[in-house]
């Protein structure tokens, strides 16, 4: 295993020097790390079960459950929820006190509460994945186990219960396809084949982003000329440790990225 360093951060704000900005509150549980590829930005993040997120992505006022994976260059609006657990529909109650005492165990009368069964909840083990270059509007909920394709757009207020195909726009409750992102399918096809998000943003300086097909041509030219290269997904880790918030970096792996 590659050597690594562990730095105890005085506060979430201290993580800025390591490629991640936190505004507002940060809630990360012990044993459930937040893995990120710098740079990323968060504002008010509750992440009780872990998260893996790619470079140049940001989110605001988010609840992240189920340890999802979110790709690079994703723009996520306020009041975002992903991977929230289900509740039993056929029990006496849908309330989680029946089987998860940890939720209210802080209250003295609940400390000796006995639960006789554990519900079988659909989709608990399912992996939730958001691809690269995904734009998610405000007040969106993505259910556990859903896979959102690269380049997709999810309209504000949507509840996403099914997979979203690459380069489609969806919206509504439940979310349904509104239209393709590009009228010309050749554009989506070219972008998807190129996988431009495998390059870091400084490599793309000066690319004509407002003309997608010209952008594809220029990125291919730069790569062919050896001016830029694709970068592997090397992640840094933020975790809750005995002394506070810890940052874990694998220098040797980063050097090979």
Is 147 a member of any domain?
yes
Band of residue 89 on the pLDDT scale cut at 50, 70, 90: confident
Tell whether the model's pLDDT for residue 234 goes beyond 80: no
Q: Which segment of 29-43, 111-125, 142-156 scores lowest on mean pLDDT? A: 111-125
Q: Which segment of 177-191, 202-216, 229-243 scores lowest on mean pLDDT? A: 229-243
Tell whether the model's pLDDT for residue 116 goes beyond 50: yes
60 and 103 in a single domain? The answer is no
60 and 11 in a single domain? The answer is yes
Band of residue 124 on the pLDDT scale cut at 50, 70, 90: low
78 and 139 in a single domain? The answer is yes
46 and 98 in a single domain? The answer is no
110 and 151 in a single domain? The answer is no
- For residues 227-240, average pLDDT: 85
pLDDT of residue 257: 36
CATH of the domain at 149: 2.160.10.10
Containing structural domain, residue 77:
5-85+123-181+234-255
What pTM was estimated for this model as a whole?
0.86
56 and 156 in a single domain? The answer is yes
Is 217 a member of any domain?
no
pLDDT of residue 123: 53
Q: Is 44 left (phi over 0), alpha (psi -120 to 50) or beta?
A: left
Band of residue 112 on the pLDDT scale cut at 50, 70, 90: confident
Q: Do 156 and 136 form a contact (C-beta atoms < 8 A)?
A: no
Band of residue 1 on the pLDDT scale cut at 50, 70, 90: very low
Q: Long-range pairs for 115-121 at CB < 8 Å and ≥24 separation?
A: 119/87, 119/88, 119/91, 121/85, 121/86, 121/87, 121/88
Q: Which residue of the set 18, 43, 87, 192 is catalytic?
A: 87
68 and 35 in a single domain? The answer is yes
Is 240 a member of any domain?
yes
Domain boundary among 99, 120, 141: 120
Tell whether the model's pLDDT for residue 151 goes beyond 70: yes
97 and 170 in a single domain? The answer is no
- For residues 28-34, average pLDDT: 81
Is 227 a member of any domain?
no
- For residues 75-82, average pLDDT: 96
Is 42 a member of any domain?
yes
111 and 31 in a single domain? The answer is no
Is 218 a member of any domain?
no
Band of residue 114 on the pLDDT scale cut at 50, 70, 90: confident
Annotated catalytic residue 87: yes
Is 222 a member of any domain?
no
Give the whole-angstrom CA distance, residue 98 versus residue 101. Answer: 7
Domain boundary among 102, 120, 138: 120
Task: Return the higher-pLDDT residue of 52 and 109.
Answer: 52
Domain boundary among 75, 105, 120: 120
Q: Is the dihedral of CA 68, 119, 79, 31 positive or negative?
A: negative
Q: Tell me how far CA of residue 69 lies from CA of 37, 146, 200, 204, in angstroms.
A: 12, 11, 19, 24
How many folded domains does the chain comprise? Answer: 2
Indicate the SS3 state at residue 85: coil
21 and 72 in a single domain? The answer is yes
97 and 71 in a single domain? The answer is no
Tell whether the model's pLDDT for residue 256 goes beyond 80: no
- For residues 16-39, average pLDDT: 84
pLDDT of residue 18: 81
Phi, psi (rounded to 5 degrees) for 47 = -135, 75
Indicate the SS3 state at residue 223: helix
Is 198 a member of any domain?
no
Q: Which segment of 4-18, 38-52, 152-166, 180-194 scores lowest on mean pLDDT? A: 4-18
79 and 91 in a single domain? The answer is no
């Amino acid at each position: 295993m590659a050597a690594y360093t562990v730095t105890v951060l005085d506060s979430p704000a201290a993580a800025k020097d390591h490629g991640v900005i936190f505004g507002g509150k940060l809630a990360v549980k012990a044993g459930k790390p937040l893995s990120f590829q710098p740079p990323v930005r968060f504002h008010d993040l509750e992440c009780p079960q872990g998260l893996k997120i790619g470079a140049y992505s940001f989110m605001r006022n988010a609840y992240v459950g189920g340890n999802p994976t979110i790709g690079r260059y994703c723009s996520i609006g306020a009041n975002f929820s992903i991977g929230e657990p289900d509740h039993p529909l056929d029990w006496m109650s849908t309330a989680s006190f029946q089987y998860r005492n940890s939720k209210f165990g802080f209250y003295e009368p609940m400390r000796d509460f006995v639960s006789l069964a554990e519900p079988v909840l659909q989709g608990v083990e399912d992996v939730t994945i958001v691809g690269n270059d995904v734009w998610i509007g405000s007040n969106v909920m993505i259910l556990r186990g859903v896979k959102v394709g690269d380049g997709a757009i999810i309209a504000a207020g949507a509840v996403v219960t099914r997979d979203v195909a690459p380069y489609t726009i969806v919206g509504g409750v439940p979310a349904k396809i509104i239209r393709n992102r590009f009228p010309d399918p050749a554009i989506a096809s070219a972008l998807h084949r190129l996988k431009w998000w495998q390059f870091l943003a400084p490599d793309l300086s000066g690319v004509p982003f407002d003309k997608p097909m010209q952008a594809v041509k220029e990125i291919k030219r730069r790569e062919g000329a050896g001016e830029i290269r694709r970068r592997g997904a090397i992640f840094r880790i933020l975790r809750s440790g005995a002394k506070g918030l810890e940052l874990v970096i694998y220098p040797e792996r980063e050097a090979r990225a």
